[in-house]
Amino acid sequence: MSKSSAWIAIENQYYAQTVRRQPVVIVQGQGSRVWDADGKEYLDFVGGWAVNMLGHCHPVITQALTEQAATLLQTSNQFYTIPQLLLAQLLVEHSCLDRVFFGNSGAEANEGAIKLARKYGKKHRDGAYEIITAFHSFHGRTMTTLAATGQPHYQEAFLPLSPGFVHVAYNDVAALEHATTDNTVAVMLEPIQGEGGVNIPDDDYLQRVRAWCDQRKILLILDEIQTGMGRLGSLFGYQEYGIEPDVMTLAKGLGCGVPIGAFLSKEFCMALEPGDHGSTFGGNALTTAVAHAGSKYLIDHNIPAHAKRMGQHLLARLQELKARFSFIVDVRGKGLLTAMEFDSDISHQVLAHANEAGVLLNGVKPNALRFMPPLTITAEEIDEGTGRLEQALKRI
């Protein structure tokens, strides 16, 4: 029995079976590569689910983590800590938003944004509370963010969910207008739907949504948990579309591997007041110190621009594969959020062969793969990774 199989047997016996895992036990990472328990090396195009923006064990992250671990981990939000304030300042100064609150995950960030919108509705919109979100969206797994998520198959086992959400087709402004009532307080959208299959809207979609929200005094909440922190080629996805949200949520890449989430808001709609919201661990010294170091590095070294160039390179390589394999029906992406779609449900098979060939990928749909590698990936690593994917595709 391989070392990996022995670990997988332990998982089968002791772990809640909630995730369909690939049979790879990762024990070490460096840059864009990881190694499994048997010493096999892989190129990592999953990146911790779009988290490891600077790759694995980047020295800036390791240094911030170890220095902060030796200084201060956790106080409570009853007191001020400096890393939290530095990160708040950095994010506000580099975005169009004015205030930030830190939590521990994406779902928590969205929960906070939803609470903010509800309170805003109570204070400024005669109690309006409904939030419009899109089908195929993904906003998290808590009962309220599941209600926001427009994918019934995630919801059905857990009904009833939090009320007050209306779903409309993505990339369809008329549907949004039609669903708007006096009760609508906010629209919540991903600039590109990630988990829903890398669905890229028309170039003018967000601008038209913005105009509608302005007209009807509705808050525009952008869930940038997957698209933010450089993934699409700008620090924030909204910058790619020439609009400003009223509220934005971040997580994933914000911490470059440590668990942190955030919601940011413009001053006019920051309706939350002392006592309205809080978190024991949210924004603690350890996670904010690492997130600050990672975010500052991303900004100072213009990593989003590198991600844009590498995204174009990756897309070109995937287009070459599409030309070679007739069962690939589409490749699409922006920055380093990219997908390859097949004419049938073969993701599972492709992933198994890809693992053998030494490249880690995500099966975002039964018929589609998602690529979300570290933003620091090089052109050579992309060539090598897509070369390994080609080996896998040849076996289909």
- Which residues in this chain contact ligand PLP in the complex, by CB under 6 A? 105-107, 110, 138-140, 190, 194-195, 223, 225-226, 251
Annotated catalytic residue within 102, 138, 165, 236: 138
* Residue appearing with tokens 């779009």: 50
CB of 3 to ligand PLP, least distance (A): 29
CB of 139 to ligand PLP, least distance (A): 5
Q: Which stretches within the chain are classed as H helix?
A: 3-14, 47-50, 59-69, 82-93, 106-124, 143-148, 152-155, 173-179, 205-216, 285-300, 303-324, 347-357, 379-394
Both tokens assigned to 206: 């967000």
CB of 153 to ligand PLP, least distance (A): 15
Both tokens assigned to 250: 């971040």
Annotated catalytic residue within 36, 44, 223, 246: 223
Which has the closest alpha carbon to 53: 231, 262, 192? 231
Q: Which one, 249 or 386, has the nearer CB to ligand PLP?
A: 249
CB of 33 to ligand PLP, least distance (A): 23
Annotated catalytic residue within 45, 101, 165, 252: 252
223 is a catalytic site residue? yes
Distance CA 227, CA 287 (A): 20
- Give how far the C-alpha of residue 208 lies from the chain's centroid of Cα atoms, to the nearest Å: 23
102 is a catalytic site residue? no
342 is a catalytic site residue? no
Q: Which one, 32 or 227, has the nearer CB to ligand PLP?
A: 227
Q: Which one, 233 or 237, has the nearer CB to ligand PLP?
A: 237
Both tokens assigned to 380: 């050579």
Q: Say which amino acid occupies 249.
A: T
Q: Which one, 358 or 374, has the nearer CB to ligand PLP?
A: 374
Q: Which one, 107 or 116, has the nearer CB to ligand PLP?
A: 107
CB of 69 to ligand PLP, least distance (A): 22
Number of Cβ within a 10 Å radius of residue 38: 12
- Where in the sequence numbering do the catalytic residues fall? 138, 223, 252
